[in-house]
Structure 1
Amino acid sequence: MITLTNVRKEYNSDVAIGPVTLEIPSGGITALVGPNGAGKSTLLTMVGRLLAMDSGEITVAQHDVSSTSSKDLAKIISILRQENHFVTKLTVRQLVGFGRFPYSKGRLNAEDEQIISRYIDFLNLTDLENRYLDQLSGGQRQRAYVAMVLCQETDYVLLDEPLNNLDIAHSVEMMKHLQSAAREFGRTIIVVLHDINFAARYADYICAVKGGKIAEFGTPREVMRDDILTEIFNTPVQVIDGPNGLLAVYH
């Protein structure tokens, strides 16, 4: 479980996140959704300790994020930010291998190589593993980054807008991979999503953020309501319960 207690981040007198108190259950996918500037990515990066909070407490699997050592935290939480600036003259396999660093410290053994191959296969990258990153499409590169994060083999995986720059088909493919990872590997995946309909289709829980605070938290069926989404996104929203599940339509 991830627990945030009175977490606050203040940028200036007009812009602040929190105070946020929230419990995210273990297992499955929890999607952070909300309008631009709501604080979704800020919350995610504070949980991953890439951004310091000004006050409050965050625990992940009962480990205090602020005081747990970096080497121990790296075996509990893995995080993928939107901005990836790896040198492009890396192969897919070399990139995925970085996920083993908390264990191997750069000296990969046979077990590490086996784990690297597992996630390359899982993300359907086997035919691309010796290609350089700058030879890949945006969708292929994004899969390689996600394979790297999964290769870290943490129980908690944090992903900041992994569907960025992906078309609809590749977005669906990515969400199916994440859904499978949560189920097959028992991971708890927290993902910032721009599209509420992807959250409704693939997430087990939706956490709606607005104005730096938690507006709603619950299952897709609890959160996907006309009145709730209209309030969160400041525009009329109608939720349709169709053959493929819940769908939000903006008017």
Structure 2
Amino acid sequence: MIEIKNISKKYRSKYVVNDLSTEIVEGKITCIIGPNGAGKSTLLNMISRLTPSESGEIIIDGKRIEDWDKAELSKTMATLKQENTTNVRLTVYELISFGRFPHSAGRLNSEDKKVIEEAIQYMNLNEFRDKYLDELSGGQKQRAYIAMTIAQNTKYILLDEPLNNLDMKSSVAMMKILQQLVKDLNKTIVIVMHDINFTSVYSDYILAMKNGKLKYMDKTQNVVVKEKLEKLYEMPFHIEQINKKNICVYF
């Protein structure tokens, strides 16, 4: 379980996350939503230890995040940032193999190669496996980075805007893959997401933020309702139910 207790973070004199407490439900997809500047990415980075909190504590499986050994944390939690670049010219296969580094320390065995192949198949990247990253489109490159994260084979997966650069078909395929990881392998996935309808259809829980504070943390169907979304985003919403999912019209 991920427990978040009274954490805060400020830049200069402004709090971007302010005294936030909640728990992330295991074996589910939780989407973090909210308007720009709400503190979503900062929260995700603090959970992953990429950004230190100034107060409060984050507890991963009963242990304070500061007390985790770096190598062991890498076997427990995988993080994909919003912007991903590499200074080395790599093929898709080489990039995905980096996901096995916490387990193999660069010496791939048969189990590592099996997991890499599974990640390639999950993300439908077989035809690109020997291509260099700079030969791929933005969407293809994004899929390769997510395959690397999947190959890390951790209990927790943290993703910051994973649908960036993906077209509609690839975005749907991506979210279905994440649902399958939860269903088949009991992964716990936390995603910073802007698209409220993808969030409504594919997440189990929503953590909603505004001005650095927690507004709602509840099952998805309890958050994707007119009154709560209008307070969160300060704009009108019309909501229709399609296939038992609340779909938002806000144009």
Q: How does 1:63-212 map to 2 (within 5 A)?
A: 63-87=63-87, 89-212=89-212
Deviation at 1:88, TM superposition (A): 6.1
Alpha-carbon separation, structure 1, partners of 2:168 and 2:244: 16
Deviation at 1:45, TM superposition (A): 0.4
Alpha-carbon separation, structure 1, partners of 2:166 and 2:119: 20
Cα offsets for 1:35-60 (capped at 9, x unmatched): 01100000000000000000111012
Alpha-carbon separation, structure 1, partners of 2:250 and 2:230: 9
Deviation at 1:32, TM superposition (A): 0.4
Secondary structure at the counterpart of residue 112 of structure 1: helix
Alpha-carbon separation, structure 2, partners of 1:216 and 1:101: 37
Alpha-carbon separation, structure 1, partners of 2:126 and 2:12: 47
Who is 2:233 aligned against? 233
Q: Which moved more, 1:95-104 or 1:161-170?
A: 161-170
Aligned CA distance change for structure 1 residues 128 and 9 (closer, same or farther; 3 Å): same
Structure 1 runs of 4+ aligned residues shifted over 6 Å read none
Q: Does 1:250 align with 2:250?
A: yes
Percent of residue pairs bearing the same amino acid type: 44
Who is 1:60 aligned against? 60
Q: 2:16 touches 2:42 (CA, 8 Å); kept in 1?
A: no
Who is 1:11 aligned against? 11
Unpaired runs of at least 5, structure 2 = none
Secondary structure at the counterpart of residue 75 of structure 2: coil
Secondary structure at the counterpart of residue 20 of structure 2: strand
Q: 1:92 touches 1:132 (CA, 8 Å); kept in 2?
A: yes
Unpaired runs of at least 5, structure 1 = none
Cα offsets for 1:109-148 (capped at 9, x unmatched): 2221111111111211122211111122222211111110
Who is 2:221 aligned against? 221
Amino acid at match of 1:105: A
Q: 1:29 touches 1:191 (CA, 8 Å); kept in 2?
A: yes
Amino acid at match of 1:171: S
If the length of structure 2 is used for normalisation, what is the TM-score?
A: 0.96
Alpha-carbon separation, structure 2, partners of 1:204 and 1:246: 13
Who is 2:20 aligned against? 20
Deviation at 1:249, TM superposition (A): 1.4
Alpha-carbon separation, structure 2, partners of 1:120 and 1:62: 33
Amino acid at match of 2:167: D
Q: How many residues align?
A: 251
Deviation at 1:183, TM superposition (A): 1.4
Cα offsets for 1:95-121 (capped at 9, x unmatched): 000011111111112221111111111
Deviation at 1:12, TM superposition (A): 2.6
